[in-house]
Amino acid sequence: MNEQTTITVIARANLDEDGYLLPSEKWDANVGRLLARHIMHSELNDDHWKVVEYLRRYYLESDIVPPIRKLCRDTGFTLSGLYKLFPMGVARGAAKIAGVPGDVFKLPQTVLYP
């Protein structure tokens, strides 16, 4: 009985018309992986996860997404580095994968970043 067994966990995610997770509270790493396959058609590496986990944590603490400069500063990635990781952008890619709801991006800028 020293055999290794691999199982695949299937996650079910409901998305709004723009592709954001509904409800956001349903997010976990398995859903993040599923969303990454759906959005990027690939798996996430450690650099992707660093950004995704940062965005998720920031959203849960603040109910908003960080300004892009803060995201770069806190994760150590340049803006061009972020776009290499997430060619579709932070809002359309990384934030969706992190389970951040789309209505966060519909708030006026003065509400997002006073």
Domain ranges of the chain: 14-112
**Cα–Cα nearest to 71, from 39, 100, 45, 44:** 100
Q: What is the pLDDT of residue 114?
A: 43
Percent of the chain residues past pLDDT 90, beyond the cut: 62
Single-letter residue type at 27: W
Report the chain's terminal Cα–Cα distance, integer Å. 60
Which residues of the chain are modeled with pLDDT < 50? 7, 110-114
Question: 14-112 adopts what CATH topology?
Answer: Arc Repressor Mutant, subunit A (1.10.10)
Distance CA 57, CA 6 (A): 29
CA distances from 12 to 8, 16, 21, 22, 75 (A): 13, 14, 10, 11, 29
Q: What is the pLDDT of residue 3?
A: 65
